[in-house]
């Protein structure tokens, strides 16, 4: 589903605090994903990063060009974790793992003990 469908499906998602846990997750073929956590629902989700132009904002941060169509921002809920603390414990060391080849396999393995939707 795209990011708008994701938020439309459960209004708590729009109102909730969200944590971003890196935008350089990679699958086996090198596609990039961003990991986010919706605090109110406990959902850890991956958002596929489209093959888009990367831009530097005025603060020096790198981001995807905001002119990307919403339907290209696809979402997959990979786990429902009861708390932020449990999420951090499950993926401890993620900052070092994220940029490695096929880091999604590591992430999925770490979250495999939690249900997905």
Q: What is the pLDDT of residues 28-73, one digit of tens each?
A: 998 999 999 999 999 999 999 776 555 566 766 555 555 555 566 8
Q: Which residue has tokens 């999925």?
A: 108
Kindly state whether residue 68 falls inside one of the protein's structural domains.
yes
Q: What span, in angstroms and rounded, lies between the C-alpha atoms of 72 and 54? A: 15
Tokens for 43, please give them.
């959902």
Q: Which residue has tokens 């002119």?
A: 67
pLDDT-derived band of residue 13, with 50, 70 and 90 as boundaries?
very high
Kindly state whether residue 103 falls inside one of the protein's structural domains.
yes
Q: Is the pLDDT at 100 greater than 70, yes or no? A: yes
Domain tally, the chain: 1
For residues 54 and 79, which has the higher predicted lDDT (pLDDT)?
79
Kindly state whether residue 115 falls inside one of the protein's structural domains.
no
Q: For residue 57, what pLDDT is reported? A: 63
Q: For residue 117, what pLDDT is reported? A: 76
β-strand 43-48 against 75-80: which pairing, if any? antiparallel
Kindly state whether residue 113 falls inside one of the protein's structural domains.
no
| Listed residue (34, 48, 42) closest to 1, CA to CA | 48
- Give the residue-averaged pLDDT of 82-111: 97
């Amino acid at each position: 589903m795209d990011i708008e469908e994701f938020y439309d499906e459960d209004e708590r998602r729009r109102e909730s605090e969200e944590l971003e846990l890196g935008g350089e997750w990679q699958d086996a073929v090198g596609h990039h994903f961003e990991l986010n956590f919706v605090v109110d629902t406990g959902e850890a989700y991956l958002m596929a990063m489209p093959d888009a132009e990367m831009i530097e904002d005025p603060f020096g941060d790198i981001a995807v060009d905001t002119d990307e169509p919403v339907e290209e921002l696809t979402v997959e809920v990979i786990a429902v974790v009861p708390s932020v603390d449990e999420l951090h414990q499950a993926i401890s060391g993620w900052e070092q793992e994220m940029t490695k080849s096929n880091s999604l396999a590591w992430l999925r393995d770490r979250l495999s003990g939690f249900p997905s939707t």
